[in-house]
Amino acid sequence: MIIFDKKKTKTILVTGGAGFLGSHLAERLIDAGHHVFCLDNLHTGRESNLDGLVESNRLTFVDHDLVDPLPSLPRFDEIYNLACPASPVHYQHDPVATLQVCSIGVQHVLERSKEDGAALFHTSTSEIYGDPEVHPQQEGYFGNVNPVGPRSCYDEGKRFAETLLTDFSKQHNVRLRMVRIFNTYGPRMLADDGRVVSNFIVQALEGRPITIYGDGSQTRSFCYVDDLIDGFLKVMAAGDEAEGPINLGNPNEITVGELAERIVAMTGSKSEIVRHPLPVDDPKRRRPDISRATELLGWVPKVPLAEGLAHTIEHFATPNARVPKEKELLSRV
């Protein structure tokens, strides 16, 4: 039997808690003995991501859109704000809703943090650097973002959120921690999420063509989800020296073309590679400078790409993991 120290047990709100990262975070917090409220409107999250946590009796699911005023909930010690679609396909589907969750939604968690005296952790993104002209990207770089392109609802939404969070927390004395996440992958991404790792793995496993956008020379640096969540917990626990945005990601940079080849080889797939047009404003290079996280927190990602991809392929090899989100929704009606 595991006995938890009651004094250390916290009541924690995770917005976006039924999503990819949110469900992994909730699992780690529950494993540490805390009571977690996962608030989610199930836009890109799925309740089944939380199935394994129900038995703990320390999970409460709140079906709610963060853009609406928060319902009556207990006082929180900590709030982790993850609610926001993260894949280009999903955040561009309803750009105004994306901007609203990054502005009105963030205002709601800020007000709640102020009322409760809760520490607030926010998930920003490497997209605030846009199509970067500086490489690798460090926190002091201001970015190169198109304010009126197809990606702007997310990039500018997240930039606005950073400003609102920074100013509100200073004005109202909210303890704020904020991370800029670089491309992270792992089990529980949606099969029809549109992001490159899940797309390539699902295409390879199903023997469908692997869709490379552009010539495949654009780069990304992929972080495995367990490493990222370790980073979240370290940042939340850190002192005032951790104020201000902190990059979290794996600096191991790879082209999209190389990623496709590795996934084809690892799955033994017979899929052919096909080219599609490069999306507008698709960043050409992206790699985090993680010196700040390493120096302040001793954080370095540990899981090599081959190992992380193997776990993710194993996950998507189970047919349930590949049920498209739309179908799961229909089966709930």
Contacting positions for ligand UDP (CB under 6 A): 87-88, 183, 195-196, 199, 211-213, 218, 220, 256, 279, 282
Residues annotated as catalytic are: 154
Q: Which residue, 21 or 260, is less far from ligand NAD as judged by CB? A: 21
Give the position of tokens 């709640």: 112
Tokens of 186: 């792992």
**Rounded least distance, CB 68 to ligand NAD, Å:** 8
DSSP classification of residue 188: T
For ligand UDP, which is the closer residue by CB, 76 or 288? 288
The least distance separating ligand UDP from the CB of residue 189, rounded to whole angstroms, comes to 9
Positions that interact with ligand NAD (CB under 6 A): 15-16, 18-22, 40-45, 65-67, 82-86, 101, 105, 123, 125, 181, 183-184
| Peptide bond connecting 136 to the previous residue in cis, omega within 30 degrees of 0 | yes
| Residue 199 to residue 273: CA distance in whole angstroms | 12
101 binding partner (options ligand UDP, ligand NAD, none; Cβ < 5 to 8 Å by kind): ligand NAD
Q: What, of ligand NAD, ligand UDP, none, does residue 66 touch, CB below 5 to 8 Å by kind?
A: ligand NAD
In the complex, minimum distance from the CB of residue 88 to ligand UDP, in angstroms, rounded to a whole number = 5
* Cα–Cα nearest to 243, from 126, 157, 119: 119
Cβ pair 247, 180 in contact under 8 A = yes
Which listed option, ligand NAD, ligand UDP, none, makes contact with residue 196 (CB within 5 to 8 Å by class)? ligand UDP
Residue 221 contact, options ligand NAD, ligand UDP, none, Cβ 5-8 Å cut-off depending on partner type: none
Which partner from the list ligand UDP, ligand NAD, none does 43 bind, CB cut-off 5 to 8 Å by kind?
Answer: ligand NAD
End-to-end C-alpha distance for the chain, whole angstroms = 38
- In three-state form (DSSP H/G/I as H, E/B as E, the rest C), the secondary structure along 114-145 is HHHCCEEEEEEEHHHHECCCCCCECCCCCCEC
Of residues 128 and 256, the one with the C-beta less far from ligand UDP: 256
Instruction: Determine the Cα–Cα distance for residues 42 and 172; give it in Å rounded to an integer.
Output: 31
Give me the half-sphere count of Cα atoms (radius 13 Å) on the Cβ side of residue 215: 2
Q: Which is nearer to ligand NAD, 65 or 253 (CB)?
A: 65
Cβ atoms of residues 12 and 78 within 8 Å: yes
As measured in angstroms, the least distance from the Cβ of 2 to ligand NAD is 27
